[in-house]
Structure 1
Amino acid sequence: MLTLLLILLPIAAGIITLLSGERLAKQVALIGGLASLGLAIFVWQQFDPMAGTQFGFKYAWLAASGISFAAGIDGISLLLVLLTTFLTPLIILSAFKNTYKSTATFYSLILFMESALIGVFTATDAFLFYLFFEAALIPVYFLSAVWGGENRLKVTFKFFIYTIFGSLFMLVALVYLYYQTPGTHSSEITEFYRLQLTPGVQGFIFWAFFIAFAIKMPLFPFHTWQPDTYTESPTPATMLLSGIMLKMGVYGLIRFLLPIVPSGMENWGLMAMILSVIGIIYGSIIAIQQSDMKRLIAYSSFAHVGLMAAGVFSSSLNGLQGALIQMLAHGINVIGLFFIVDIIYSRTKTRYLDQLGGISQTSPHLSVYFMILLLGSVALPLTNGFVGEFLLLSSVFQYDAILGAIAGLTIILGSVYMLRLFQKSMFGPKSKWVEGFQDLTASERAVLLPLIIMVFWIGIYPSTFLKLTEPAVSQLLQLVNN
C-alpha cells in the first residue's frame, strides 16, 4: 500500500493546491512535495534490497483481459522514486522567485507530473506503465505551452508529436507481447520476461522499444525536439524534463529492452551503442559552440544521456550500476545548473555568454555553488558525476575498446564546454548587463544547498546507493543470461 500512497499523495496535493487559491498555492505545493519526500524516505528505511519487489499492490483493472492496476518497488525503482521526490520540492521552491499567471494551476501540474513519474518507476503491469508513461507527458506539455517562451506553441507541438509517435511503437510491442503470454494472457512485466521469442520477433520488439525510449531520453538521431523544448520551456518545466523525465527512457531500456529481448540486444545492441556514442560526441561538440547558457546545458544533458544508454547496452553489472548512479547524479547536477542559469537571467535579462562576465566579483556564494555543480557535471573525483562516469566508461571499454576510447572523449569535451560556461559568465571584466548583480537570496540557497550536499554524498559514499540497486540489477542480469 505504500507504493499506492506514493502515487496518490502528489495527486491529492495537486488537487489541494489547485483549490487553495493563488495566494497560498506555492506554499501548499511545497508542503505536498515535502510530504512525498518524507514518505519516500520512510519507504527507503523499510526497504530490504535483498527481498526483491516490495510494498506492492494489485487491483483488477480489466480483469477479463488479465490487465491489472499493479505496482511495487525494487532497488531500481526506489532509487528513481527517491530522485523524483527529492527534486520535486526543490523545483517547486526554485519557482518561488518568479511570478506565474494562474499560480495554482502551475504548481498543481508539477505535482501531477510527480505522480505520473512515480507511477512509471513503480508499475509492474506493462499497460499501467504505458498509461503513466503517456500521462507524464500531459502536465509538462501544458507547463511548456502556457508558460514558455515566444516560440512555445511550435516547440511544444513538435515535442508532443515526437513523443506520441515513439510511444505508439511501444504500444504495438506491448500488445504483441501480451498476446504471446499463455492462457488467458497477462500484462505483468515479469510474464513478458518468460516469453521465448524467435530472434526475428526479438529484433522487431527491440526496435519498437528502442525508438520509444530513445525519443524520450533523447538519443541521437531522435534528439531534435530536445534543445528547443528545454530552451523555450519555463525553467521548472525544463528541470522536470531534464532532471527526471528523461530518466523514464533509460529506465525503460533497463526494465523492458534488456530482459525481454536478449537476442535482440545481442544482434542490434552494437548499433544502438554506436548511436549512443555518436550522441555523446555530437552533443558535446554542439555544446561547445553554444552562446545561450540554457541551450548549452541542454546539449550537455543530451551528451550525458548518451553515455547512460551506452552503459545499458553493454549489458554488464558496471554498465547498469553506472547508468543508475549517473541518473541520480545527472538529475542533481542539471537541476542545479538550470537553476543557476535562471538566477542569472532573472538578474541580467540575458543568457548569452558574450553579454555576461564578472559576476563572481559581486556574487562569491553563487560562484562557489556554480563551480561545485559544474565539477560534479565534469566528473571530478569525490563528486557525484565521477562514480557513474567511471563505471559507464569502463563498461563501454570492456564491450568495445574503440567505442570506449571514443566515449572517453566526453571527459575532455565536457570540461571544455563547462569551464567555458563558467569562465565567460563568472570571470573577466564586468559587463553592463551584470551591474548591480546581487548574490544569492535565502530561498535560492535553500534550493542549492541540498543539491551540493548530494554532490559530495554520492561522490564520497556511493555505496549508499549502489548497494540499494545491486541486488535488483544482479537479478535482472541473471535473468538475461539464463
Structure 2
Amino acid sequence: MDNLFILLLIPSLAALALCFLKNDIVAKWIALGASLLTLVSTLPFLCGFTADANVQFEQSWLWIASLGIKFHIGLDGISLPLVLLTNGLVPLIILSAFEKNHKGNFFALISFMQVGLQLVFVALDAFTFYVGWEIALIPIYFICTLWGEADRIKVNLKFFVYTFFGSILMLVAIIFLYSQSEARSLDWSVLANLNLDETTQRWIFWAFFIAFAIKIPIFPFHTWQPETYTQAPSTGSMLLAGIMLKMGVYGLIRWLLPITPFAVLAYSNILMLLCVIGIVYASIIAFKQQDAKRLIAYSSIAHVGLIAAGVFSLHLEGLQGAVIQMINHGLSVVGLFFVIDILERRIGTRMLSNWGGLAKRMPRLATVFLIILMGAVGLPLTNGFIGEFLLLKGVFDYGIWYAFFGGLTLILGAVYMLRFYQKAMLGPLDEKYETVVDIKGYEMVLLSILVFFTLFLGIYPKAILQLSEAAVTNLLNQIKF
C-alpha cells in the first residue's frame, strides 16, 4: 500500500466516530485501536522508503481549481521520521489517558489533531501546510481549555492568541509568495526557486520565523509555554511538547531555509543569540522550579533552543542533529510527563518539596524513570547523546562561543534533572506514602516501550540518521546564498 492519504483518512474517520460515543471504556479502546491501525499503516512507507534525497509516495490533486491550488503530499528523509514520531507517540498518549474517564469527544480531538500534525509533515504545498497547521491548533486548544486545571481559560487564551497571531503572519507571507509565482503555484519546489530579492526575503523571513518561533518556542516568543504546559491535562502536555512543537522546527527546515536563505544567513547571528539566551535562561529557571510539570516545560525550552541553533548553524551535523533530536526529545518528554502524571495520581501532588523516597515503594518506576531521564540529559548509549553531540558539532562549526554557551544545556540539564530524580525517588519516605503502589499493567507497558527506544536509538542512531542524511545534504546543496 503506497497511498499516503490513508494515514490521514484513518484518524479522520476515528475522530468522526468518537464524537458520538458517550461510553468512556468503548471510546478509549476505539481510539487506541484506530491509532494503532494508523501506526501499522505507516510501516509499509518506512519499509518501502529509499534513503535518498527524492520525495517519495507523492500524491497531488487539484484542490481549488480557480486558484490552481493543489492538495500535494509526499515523504522524504526529513518528514518520514516526524510522521513515525507522530504515529508512534499518539497510541502511547492515548494509552496514558486510560486511567481517566474521558468520553469519546476527548479522544476525537486527539485523532483530529493527529490529522493536522501529519498533514503538516507530509505537505508539499504551502496552502496544504497551512491547513494542517491550523487543524492541529484547534483540537489542542479545546483539550487544554476543557480538561485543563484551574487557570486554564486565561492561560489557553494567551496560547491561542500567540499562535493565531503567528499563523496570520505566515498566511500573509504565503499569499504574497503565491502572487510572486509566475505559475501561480504554492508548491514547495516552486517557492524554493523563486529567487526573491534581498528586501523581500527579509520580511518574508520574519513572517515565517515568528510563526515557527512561537510554536517551538524560541526566546522571547516563549512566554505562553510554561503556563500552558503546566495548566494542560497530562495528555495535552504530551501532545504539545512531544509532537506539536516539532511543527515549528520542521517549518524552519522545510520552508524557511529554502525560501529565504539570504535572510537566514543575514540574521544568523541574531538567531543564534536568541537560541543561546533561551537555552541558558530556561535552564536556570528550570533549576528553581518546585512544580514538576513546570520544570519539564522550562527544560523543553532549553532543549528545543539547542535544536533550533542546530538548524541555524547551516551545517550538515547541525541539521542532522536537529532531525534526530526532535525524535529523541519527543520520546523523553512524553515519558517524563507520564511519570509526573503517575506520581500525581498516586500521591496527590506534583510539588517536588512533597516528594521523596518513593523508590522504596516504587522500584519499577524508579528504574524506568532513571533510564528515560538519562536519555533526556544525553548520557552516552541513550537516545539523547548522539543528537546533542551532532547539534553541538554543528553549532561549534558556526562559532565556538555559541557552542560553549549552548553546551551549558548539557551541564545545567544534568543538574536540574538529577535534582528532579533525587527529590522524587531518593531520601526518606514520608509515612503517608507507605501504601503507594508501584506501576503495573498499561503503565509498565507504556514506559517499557519508551525505555526500549531510549536505549535502541542510543545504541543504533543510524536508524534515523540514514533516513534523513541524503535529504538534509540535498537541502543544503540547493540553498542559494
Q: Aligned partners of 1:319 and 1:346: how far apart in 2?
A: 39
Q: Aligned partners of 1:270 and 1:259: how far apart in 2?
A: 18
Displacement of 1:2: 2.2
The answer for the alignment partner of 2:48 in structure 1 is 46
The answer for the alignment partner of 1:123 in structure 2 is 123
* Matched AA of 1:405: F
Displacement of 1:432: 4.7
Displacement of 1:436: 1.2
Report the secondary structure of 1:72's partner residue.
Answer: strand
**Unpaired runs of at least 5, structure 2:** none
The answer for the alignment partner of 1:98 in structure 2 is 100
The answer for the alignment partner of 1:7 in structure 2 is 8
Alignment of 1:248-397 (within 5 A): 248-397=247-396
* Matched AA of 1:6: L
Q: Aligned partners of 2:322 and 2:35: how far apart in 1?
A: 26
Displacement of 1:70: 1.2
Displacement of 1:51: 5.9
Q: Aligned partners of 1:137 and 1:45: how far apart in 2?
A: 31
Q: Aligned partners of 2:477 and 2:3: how far apart in 1?
A: 28
* Matched AA of 1:121: F
Q: Aligned partners of 2:239 and 2:97: how far apart in 1?
A: 12
Displacement of 1:481: 4.5
Q: Aligned partners of 1:145 and 1:19: how far apart in 2?
A: 20
The answer for the alignment partner of 1:473 in structure 2 is 472
Report the secondary structure of 1:69's partner residue.
Answer: strand
Does the aligned pair in 2 maintain the 1:356–1:434 contact within 8 Å?
no
Does the aligned pair in 1 maintain the 2:53–2:77 contact within 8 Å?
no
Q: Aligned partners of 2:47 and 2:193: how far apart in 1?
A: 32
* Matched AA of 2:174: L
CA gap of 1:433–1:160, structure 2 versus 1, over 3 A, is: farther
Q: Does 1:460 align with 2:459?
A: yes
* Matched AA of 2:58: G
Displacement of 1:21: 3.7
The answer for the alignment partner of 1:447 in structure 2 is 446
The answer for the alignment partner of 1:154 in structure 2 is 154
Using the TM superposition, name which of 167-176 and 120-129 deviates more.
167-176
* Matched AA of 1:400: G
The answer for the alignment partner of 1:237 in structure 2 is 236
> Which TM-score applies when normalising by structure 2?
0.98
Report the secondary structure of 1:19's partner residue.
Answer: coil
Does the aligned pair in 1 maintain the 2:202–2:263 contact within 8 Å?
yes
Q: Does 1:138 align with 2:135?
A: no
Q: Aligned partners of 1:309 and 1:64: how far apart in 2?
A: 38
Displacement of 1:369: 0.6
Q: Aligned partners of 2:445 and 2:29: how far apart in 1?
A: 15
Q: Aligned partners of 1:120 and 1:4: how far apart in 2?
A: 13
Report the secondary structure of 2:19's partner residue.
Answer: helix
Does the aligned pair in 1 maintain the 2:20–2:105 contact within 8 Å?
no
Q: Does 1:59 align with 2:54?
A: no
Q: Aligned partners of 2:75 and 2:433: how far apart in 1?
A: 48
Displacement of 1:434: 2.6
> Which TM-score applies when normalising by structure 1?
0.98
Q: What RMSD, in angstroms, separates the aligned Cα atoms of the two structures? A: 1.1
Report the secondary structure of 1:49's partner residue.
Answer: coil
Does the aligned pair in 1 maintain the 2:253–2:311 contact within 8 Å?
yes
After superposition, the C-alpha distances for 1:254-280 in whole angstroms (9 at most, x for unaligned) are 001111111101111110111011111
Displacement of 1:18: 2.7
After superposition, the C-alpha distances for 1:323-342 in whole angstroms (9 at most, x for unaligned) are 00000000000000000000
After superposition, the C-alpha distances for 1:415-460 in whole angstroms (9 at most, x for unaligned) are 0000000001111111255331110021101111111110011110
Aligned residues between the structures: 479
**Unpaired runs of at least 5, structure 1:** none
Using the TM superposition, name which of 1-10 and 415-424 deviates more.
1-10
After superposition, the C-alpha distances for 1:157-195 in whole angstroms (9 at most, x for unaligned) are 110000000111111111111111114x11111100111
The answer for the alignment partner of 2:173 in structure 1 is 173
CA gap of 1:433–1:65, structure 2 versus 1, over 3 A, is: farther
Q: Aligned partners of 2:421 and 2:72: how far apart in 1?
A: 46
* Matched AA of 2:167: S
